[in-house]
Structure 1
Amino acid sequence: MVSVRLVHRRDTSDEQTAAGAESEGEIETVLAGDVDVARSTLEQARGLMFRRSVSDGYALVFPFGDADTQWLHMLFVPFAIDALWLVDGAVTKRKRLAPFVGLGRGRADTVVELPAGAADEVAVGDEVQLVE
């Protein structure tokens, strides 16, 4: 069995440190070590519906073919999530979706669902990748 992680990379070359000097390089953090990939139409339609919760360190990834408008809904999902819309691994949108009534859409070839708060440090333009 192959272990897959969801990794967030943020370029820090343009950021200022507390002392005012420019920092260089990338910061890499693991967003999730417990990753499910919803490949079939049925898995994608079901998503997180009917689950009572998800654990910290969990992600559900929805790979789609080409980048297009992808919708998410929170019908029958009783907990908040962070959603990321990605094109070629770059974050195009991030949104917190409320339980039961949350709705979101964005342009993506991949969508990621995480526990609420897990994507607080992720910004549009950052890279998020599945890594073996």
Structure 2
Amino acid sequence: MEKRRSYVSYILLAVFTLAGALYLLRPLLVSNRNEATSAGTESSASSTAPAAPASGIVKEGEVVFLKGGKQFRKIDVEIAENDTERQKGLMFRPYLSDSVGMLFVFEEATPQSFWMRNTMISLDIIYVDQNKKIVSIQKKAKPYSEESLPSFGNAQYVVEVNGGYCDKYGIQVGDEIAF
């Protein structure tokens, strides 16, 4: 009888562990299901639909990259403007297209430092000062790393894009952004 009770305890523990894991993975599973649904109806969507739903980014604005005052790249961005949004960032997102990113907005320009905890994809992290000038770039940040990636100067804005994006499109320290 005691042995039977032990097996039941293990089975219940396994069931509760699986239920907990599914609960934690629910946002990712629902996101993937929505991507599959939107992919099937993409041709009937209007051109004013939110940008890049497959990447999980909800367009809240645009960031324009400027070189010598002239626009040379533009991306759609989701904006992280409060502590909760900034802490989550691009965590748990399995894909990011080159046409999208995330803009982090801070109240003032101070030294910033990001990490890649729970971030599934490599990112370029672009630190921007209060005058919207790029002060530093952390390129190809390693997924899931808890290594601190500092701004090496004061930054009021941070733009995250796909790892390798800055090299691919020639974005450099000294360039500017507009949004």
- The correspondence of residues 1-132 of structure 1 with structure 2, limited to 5 A, is 4-11=61-68, 26-32=69-75, 34-87=76-129, 88-96=131-139, 97-101=141-145, 102-106=147-151, 107-120=154-167, 121-130=170-179
Q: Greater strand percent: which structure?
A: 1
CA distance in 1, matches of 2:123, 2:82: 21
Per-residue CA distance 1:11-49 (angstroms, 9 max, x = gap): 2xxxxxxxxxxxxxx5422241x2100012100010011
CA distance in 1, matches of 2:107, 2:60: 23
CA distance in 2, matches of 1:4, 1:109: 17
SS at match of 2:173: coil
> Could you state the TM-score of these two structures normalised by the residue count of structure 2?
0.59
Query: How well do the aligned residues superpose, as a CA RMSD in angstroms?
Result: 1.9
Structure 1 unpaired stretches of 5+:
12-25
Q: Which has the larger radius of gyration?
A: 2
Per-residue CA distance 1:67-102 (angstroms, 9 max, x = gap): 101111101112110111001200000111111115
SS at match of 1:51: coil
> Could you state the TM-score of these two structures normalised by the residue count of structure 1?
0.79
Q: Greater helix percent: which structure?
A: 2
Q: Aligned letter for 2:120?
A: P
Whether the 8 Å contact between 2:127 and 2:159 is mirrored in structure 1 is yes
Whether the 8 Å contact between 2:128 and 2:157 is mirrored in structure 1 is yes
Shift of 1:5: 2.0
SS at match of 1:119: helix
2:14 corresponds in structure 1 to none
Shift of 1:110: 0.4
1:15 corresponds in structure 2 to none
**How many corresponding residue pairs?**
115
